[in-house]
Amino acid sequence: MSLVAVAFYESSWFKAVVYVLIAIIAARVVDFFLARRDAAMAKLLGRMPGRADRTRYMMIRRLVQAVILIIGVAMALFQLPFFQTLSGAILASAAIISGVIGIAARAPLANLVSGVMIAFSQPVRLGDYISVDDVYGTVEEIRFTYTYIRTPDNRRVVIPNEAFANQVVNNFSMGSPGSMVAVAFVVPIASDVDAVRSSVLAIADELAAAPDGMSNSVTVEDLGAADVTLRLHAWARDPHARRDVASDLRAAILRRLSDDGVLGAAQEASGAAD
């Protein structure tokens, strides 16, 4: 029985399993200590690391874990006799295999490279409010191949990292102390446009005051046969509240136009045209 046990413990399969287990344990232990870095930095600096630091450090943690696991699996495979036999043939046809793998794995590899680039060049960061291909949301997680955002209606959208390199990405949390909100509305062409613009600007300054050095504005977007299209550009100090700010502005504009008789004039004009 002891000889059987010794043979089992010295078998290549047992050694391979041990290497894999060691790699898994080592990856978890290293990640545990790396995860405590934020708390240590907070105590040292008296503040939590910013979005940029957290985004970059999260990717570093994942890269370290991946490297440890890859090394462990490679060492485990080299313990197996059949893999050692195949290794010569694999190396001999490495160019062909690399070409086939490169073609088959183009999208995953592109997403992987894009994920690392996102973490270090940081067009988006954890906690940023962004839009990609008309999808709006807050960045919750950036992984090797996919980025996860949480939409205002609480949906979790998964976006391939390659999209950040191939599409236009709007980052409303970066580069300014707020986010611009646009609200379009139509008034009759006979209206006092200057008075309407002044009224709407007063609403915007009350509900969405612009930061220092910035200002809200109302522009004339289009002229029709019977109406004028105006667009309010106002500031939302919190990018995550863009939808709520826009909704409040629309409701307030509707009330003001109704109180000023502008909507009534529009209805009378429409009735006369009919």
Lowest average pLDDT, out of 172-181, 191-200, 205-214, goes to 172-181
pLDDT per position as a tens digit, 223-250: 888 889 999 998 888 887 888 888 999 9
Lowest-pLDDT range of 78-92, 170-184, 185-199, 244-258:
78-92
171 against 81, higher pLDDT? 171
CATH topology of domain 179-273: Alpha-Beta Plaits (3.30.70)
Average pLDDT over residues 181-190: 88
Domain boundaries, the chain: 2-92, 122-171, 179-273
Q: What is the pLDDT of residues 64-111, one digit of tens each?
A: 888 888 887 877 777 766 665 555 555 455 455 555 555 545 566 677
0.85 surpassed by pTM: no
pLDDT of residue 162: 84
| Architecture of the domain spanning 122-171 | Roll (2.30)
Task: Report CA dihedral (93, 98, 99, 102) to the nearest 10 degrees.
Answer: 160
Residues 37-70 have pLDDT tens digits of 666 666 665 566 666 667 777 777 777 888 888 8
